[in-house]
Structure formats: structure tokens, C-alpha cells
């Protein structure tokens, strides 16, 4: 994982519903596959691969995957360009691996991370706007879990927000 560079933008990334449809399954043998055989893991990742390269962006994972799998395993499943861009991981929103009850909002764990690392250039992409206050909506790219980053308008919105950060 990298060290934060204040000149580089940071993208807080949820995986399910953004890089592939919601419905990835963690099997007892530790493998991960899509519940629906019509879809593949990270099938919508290519736009983000391009964006990370173009904007020299760092990624911070805000995903349930990091509370269910060791980080090295999550990174090994990701496209290598994205895995190499990961600079950190937020705290989980659930209490524990066995008790999946949500105790914190997605926004609150991102905000905590932003403050802890004194980030100024950041944006989040997620398929749920859980806990996002109106005053911070400009930091969120909200995508539909059925299309994620495959939807051109979502990709363009992320690019626009990153361009604004570079001004």
C-alpha cells in the first residue's frame, strides 16, 4: 500500500455494486464468485483502471470485503492496477464478521479516515448514500448497483469530480 500524497486525489471505493453487480459470495474454501453466473467479479473495473492512471489517484477501500477477507486476499482478487493504487482501508461499518449488524454509516467511516489522514482531495464512489449529509453530496458519486461504473454517466461524473479536485 502506498503513502498518501496530498497532491494526488483519493477515491474511496466500494466494490459490490460499483465494480460488479451486488452479489459476490465468499465460499467456505475462501474463494469468491458471483452469485449469478451471468456476471464476473470486477466486470466494470476498466473505467476505474483508466481513471486511476489518468488522475494518478490513490484508492481507499470502503467495502465489506475487508471485514470478511484479509487485505492481501482482497488485493489479489482486484485488477493489478487497482490493487497497486490502494493506499488504505477504512474501518468497517459492521460490529464483527459474525454480527453483520451495521453500527456506523458509510459516510462516517470515510469522514473519520479523511480527518485522520488530513485529506483534502477526495471523492467516494458507492451504490448506497448511507449517512451522507447534504453538505457533502458533492464528494459522492452515487451509482446504481445494477450498472455501477459501466454506466457512462457515472464514469463521467467521477471524472468531473476528479477534475474539480485538480483545479
Range of the domain at 80: 10-165
Query: What gap in Å lies between CA 81 and CA 48, rounded to an integer?
Result: 9
CB 125 within 8 A of CB 15: no
The answer to whether residue 1 sits within a structural domain is no
Torsion angles phi and psi, residue 122, rounded to 5? -150, 155
Residue 3 lies in a domain: no
Distance CA 146, CA 162 (A): 23
Q: Are 30 and 73 in contact (CB under 8 A)?
A: yes
- The reply to whether 130 falls in a domain is yes
Which of the two residues, 5 and 153, has the higher pLDDT score? 153
User: For the segment 116-149, what is each residue's pLDDT rounded down to a tens digit?
Assistant: 999 999 999 999 998 899 999 999 999 998 999 9
Number of Cβ atoms within 10 Å of the Cβ of 29: 5
Per-residue pLDDT band at 30 (split at 50, 70, 90): confident
C-alpha cell at 108: 462516517
131 located within any domain: yes
Mean of all residue pLDDT scores within the chain: 89
CATH number at residue 72: 3.40.50.1000
Counted domains in the chain: 1
Position 67 confidence tier, pLDDT thresholds 50, 70, 90: confident
Give me the mean pLDDT over the 10-31 stretch: 87
CA nearest neighbour of 12 among 151, 162, 166: 162
Q: Using 50, 70 and 90 to split pLDDT, how confident is the model at 27?
A: confident
User: What is the total residue count of the chain?
Assistant: 167
Please report whether residue 123 resides in a domain.
Answer: yes
Percent of the chain with pLDDT over 90: 65
Instruction: Say if 70 falls within a structural domain.
Output: yes
Grid cell 493506499 is found at 87
Note whether residue 88 is domain-resident.
Answer: yes
pLDDT at position 165 over 60: yes
> CA 155 to CA 96: how far, in whole Å?
33
More confident residue, 43 or 68: 43
- Average pLDDT value for residue range 62-68: 86
Could you tell me if residue 77 is inside a domain? yes
Amino acid at each position: 500500500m502506498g503513502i498518501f500524497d496530498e497532491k494526488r486525489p483519493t477515491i474511496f471505493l466500494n466494490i459490490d455494486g460499483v465494480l460488479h453487480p451486488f452479489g459476490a459470495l465468499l465460499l467456505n474454501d475462501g474463494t469468491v464468485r458471483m452469485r449469478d453466473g451471468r456476471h464476473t467479479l470486477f466486470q466494470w473495473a476498466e473505467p476505474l483502471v483508466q481513471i486511476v492512471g489518468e488522475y494518478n489517484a490513490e484508492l481507499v477501500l470502503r467495502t465489506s470485503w475487508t471485514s470478511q477477507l484479509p487485505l492481501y486476499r482482497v488485493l489479489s482478487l482486484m485488477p493489478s492496477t487497482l490493487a497497486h493504487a490502494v493506499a488504505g482501508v477504512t474501518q468497517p461499518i459492521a460490529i464483527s464478521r459474525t454480527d453483520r449488524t451495521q453500527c456506523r454509516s458509510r459516510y462516517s467511516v470515510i469522514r473519520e479516515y479523511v480527518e485522520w489522514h488530513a485529506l483534502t482531495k477526495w471523492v467516494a464512489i458507492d451504490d448506497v448514500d448511507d449517512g451522507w449529509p447534504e453538505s457533502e453530496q458533492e464528494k459522492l458519486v452515487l451509482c446504481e448497483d445494477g450498472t455501477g461504473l459501466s454506466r457512462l454517466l457515472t464514469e463521467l461524473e467521477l471524472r468531473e469530480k476528479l477534475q474539480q479536485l485538480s483545479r
